[in-house]
């Protein structure tokens, strides 16, 4: 396991999944993604594909991640409904991933039901996956003694040791200095309060600062959103007497909340720099349509904070958006480029500067 790890929390949509195949090889070895399988779109009658079909559709796109480990979360689906032979969504997701050579670790929450827990225990017994325990919302509002008791009880039920467990402290959305200070305090308290914190396979502190939409951004004006998630982690790292240094996690260029529905977006580019994101968008009414993306790239590439084409394929695309006859793409393409840049950039900063 590399000394430096980074856990981006990614929605299992085409843009984010494609980004995993676009990042630099040097980035791969420092990534432990947490991938959320999301429900597919509704048809005209308001129905969705069966859960098993949604899982298979997403997992098939993980082929580029073969040979690597990731954390696989089906919590947005019906994880406690029997789907096949008495097993549920976790069993199907982990089995399908392993069939592709992807070393998937199942993600559990403290309030998951008996089927999800049984699935995770079976996956570990059969495939030695270990487990990831994801604490969210109300979990983190409890006294640290109660949190430690709940974690101990769950691992005892699963028959899994902390050394085989990734603990994810998911602080959710953080925007503003008050949220940063509050989240940093919660994470530090939990780190100090859990028993034998140094024994866990990884302890990940994740939060997200990207807004739910780009309504605050004026067309053709480079706006910026502060990377409060990175600021939270930096404050936490400066804390003294922590039992271990946590892994940095964020939601890349996506808001932590899962937002349903189909939304038509104008061409846009989300570009991480040291303390913020540069965000630029066109308009839906522009007759150039998606070709506005070329000009967005030109503007970001000319910005003083542009990292340079050598960072990775995403930055090379931004530097030369018309090269090799490549088209402007669509919303999925734009999300892919922003996400891939984010992953390459954060890993470079963590491995060279020790901060995200």
pLDDT tens-digit profile of 126-156?
A: 999 999 999 998 999 999 999 999 999 999 9
Residue 173, SS3 per DSSP: strand
pLDDT at 23 over 80: yes
pLDDT tens-digit profile of 279-333?
A: 999 998 888 989 999 999 999 999 999 999 999 999 999 999 998 888 999 999 9
Closest CA to 293 of 253, 262, 341, 326: 326
pLDDT at 225: 95
∠ CA 266-270-274, rounded to 5°: 160
Token pair 């930096």: residue:
234
d(CA 172, CA 345): 22
pLDDT at 64: 86
Domains of the chain, by residue range, sit at 6-32+130-352
Q: Which strand (E) or helix (H) includes residue 238?
A: none
Q: pLDDT band at 261, cuts 50/70/90?
A: low
Mean pLDDT within 349-356: 96
CB of 310 closer than 8 Å to CB of 301 = no
d(CA 328, CA 330): 7
pLDDT tens-digit profile of 27-66?
A: 999 999 999 999 876 544 444 567 888 899 999 999 889 9
pLDDT at 43: 47
Mean pLDDT within 222-246: 92
Least confident of 41-45, 107-111, 202-206, 249-253: 41-45
């Amino acid at each position: 396991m590399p000394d430096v790890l980074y856990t981006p929390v990614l929605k299992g949509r085409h843009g984010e999944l494609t980004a995993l195949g676009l990042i630099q090889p040097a980035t791969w070895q420092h990534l432990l993604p947490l991938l959320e399988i999301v429900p597919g779109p509704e048809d005209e009658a308001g129905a969705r594909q069966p859960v098993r079909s949604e899982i298979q559709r997403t997992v098939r796109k993980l082929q580029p991640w073969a040979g690597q480990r990731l954390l696989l979360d089906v919590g947005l689906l019906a994880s406690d409904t029997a789907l096949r032979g008495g097993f549920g969504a976790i069993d199907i997701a982990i089995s399908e991933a392993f069939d592709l050579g992807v070393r998937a670790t199942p993600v559990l929450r403290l309030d998951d039901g008996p089927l999800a827990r049984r699935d995770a225990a079976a996956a570990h017994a059969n495939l030695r996956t270990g487990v990831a325990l994801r604490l969210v919302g109300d979990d983190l509002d409890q006294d640290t003694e109660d949190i430690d008791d709940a974690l101990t009880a769950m691992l005892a039920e699963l028959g899994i040791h902390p050394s085989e467990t990734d603990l994810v402290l998911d602080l959710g959305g953080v925007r503003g200095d008050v949220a940063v200070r509050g989240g940093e305090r919660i994470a530090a308290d939990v780190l100090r309060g859990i028993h034998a914190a140094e024994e866990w396979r990884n302890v990940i502190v994740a939060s997200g600062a990207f807004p739910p939409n780009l309504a605050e951004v004026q067309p053709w004006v480079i706006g910026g959103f502060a990377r409060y998630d990175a600021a939270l982690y930096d404050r936490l790292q400066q804390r003294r007497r922590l039992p271990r240094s946590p892994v940095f996690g964020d939601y890349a260029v996506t808001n932590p909340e899962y937002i349903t529905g189909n939304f038509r977006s104008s061409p846009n580019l989300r570009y991480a720099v040291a303390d913020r994101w540069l965000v630029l968008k066109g308009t839906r009414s522009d007759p150039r349509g998606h070709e506005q993306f070329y000009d967005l790239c030109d503007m970001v590439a000319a910005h003083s904070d542009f990292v340079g084409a050598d960072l990775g394929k995403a930055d090379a695309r931004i530097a030369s958006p018309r090269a090799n006859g490549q088209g402007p793409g669509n919303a999925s393409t734009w999300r892919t480029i922003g996400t891939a840049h984010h992953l390459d950039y954060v890993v470079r900063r963590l491995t060279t500067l020790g901060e995200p």
